[in-house]
Amino acid sequence: MNIAIWTEKYRPKKFHEIKGQEAVVNRAEAFVKQKNMPHLLFAGPAGTGKTSLSLVIAKNLFKDSWYENFLELNASDERGIDVIRVKVKDFARTRAIGDVPFKIIYLDECDALTKEAQQALRRTMENYTQTCRFILSCNYSSKIIDPIQSRCSVFRFKPLPKKSVFSIIDTIAKNESLKIDENAKEALYNISEGDCRRVENILQASAVINKNISESMIYELASIAKPKEVKNILSFCIQKDFLKAKNELLKTMLENGLSGLDMIKQIQKEIWGLDIDDKKKLSMTKECGEVEFRMVEGSDEFIQLESLISKFVLINN
């Protein structure tokens, strides 16, 4: 089973099945009960239930005829003005099938639309309100022009809390006959950062290898260093042992196949768990930002990381 089929298998069918977004789900369910709704803007991180909620809205509104009354487009694939002028307008101008007076167009990743396409979309939303409602989904609402935002009811999604992620893991483990220990669950939550899609992806990769899923397997398949390994690097810096810190850093990167940017993000997370003065933590975090910027601009990652740990040693001197 590939990841697309796996994800679809566990996609929520009812409002109560959507985890970790209670306030958003309650508002959406109220619109469906009234059989009326404004244009909606779903904004939030990836893998938090935006597409799932739009499909649940459509299935509960239109019942068996939902497929004929629902158009899903991914704006990151087709992001030009022609898509809005042709595909969207052709679908929007026809009446809905059934007793609901409007169709739904779901535009995923609409923050990838060009400004010209967004202006065309604004006019389309205005002109076809009687026959069509739009659900716009994006990671960053700031990239959507103000005229579109003002026409929509904004739903802000948040990363899934630990309780919701654990609930999803338990459901999958039960249905797929997997054994997942508590440490593995913690690892999944830490790696996913509230992204349900990533949880499912890592779980499927693990389940192919072994039905008994452990913490080490999760970290290995996710290509992420264990927190303990990163803490070892930082502890050598605190002890002012640059050579050991450097060797441990190179070993961790090579064994886990990590890029410099991956390493910076993990180091930055672990800094705040160190038993040192808060001012030193602030200085170390600042240096992480400087080095990340240089890497993004094209600097050699190994030189920059060695520079980073040398600064950590000097800060703790």
Residue intervals in the chain for CATH 1.20.272.10: 227-315
- Give residue 182's pLDDT: 87
Strand extents, DSSP E, the chain:
39-43, 70-74, 103-108, 132-138, 152-156, 179-180, 212-213
Residue intervals in the chain for CATH 1.10.8.60: 162-222
CATH number of 162-222: 1.10.8.60
Is the per-residue pLDDT at 1 higher than 60?
A: no
Amino acid at 27: R
- Give residue 83's pLDDT: 66
pLDDT tens digit string along 30-75? 888 888 888 888 988 888 888 888 888 888 888 888 888 888 877 6
Give Cα 67 to chain centroid, integer Å: 26
Backbone dihedral angles phi then psi of residue 153, each to the nearest 5 degrees: -85, 120
What percent of the chain is modeled with pLDDT above 70? 93
Q: Is 291 helix (H, G, I), strand (E, B) or coil?
A: helix
Instruction: Report the CATH fold assignment for 3-156.
Output: Rossmann fold (3.40.50)
Residue 293 pLDDT level (bands cut at 50, 70, 90): very high
Kindly state the greatest CA–CA separation across the chain. Answer: 73
Backbone dihedral angles phi then psi of residue 10, each to the nearest 5 degrees: -100, 10
Q: Which two tokens stand for residue 97?
A: 């099938």
- Among 20-29, 85-94, 134-143, 256-265, whose mean pLDDT is lowest? 85-94
pLDDT tens digit string along 204-260? 888 888 888 888 888 878 777 788 888 889 999 888 888 998 898 888 888 878 888
Sign of the dihedral defined by the CA atoms of residues 89, 93, 95, 101, in that order: positive
Residue 136, beta-bridge partner list = 41, 107
Q: Which CATH architecture has domain 227-315?
A: Up-down Bundle (1.20)
pLDDT tens digit string along 141-199? 888 888 888 888 888 988 888 888 888 888 888 888 888 888 888 888 888 888 888 88
Residue intervals in the chain for CATH 3.40.50.300: 3-156
- Give residue 88's pLDDT: 73
Backbone dihedral angles phi then psi of residue 266, each to the nearest 5 degrees: -70, -40
85 in Cβ contact with 127 (< 8 Å): no
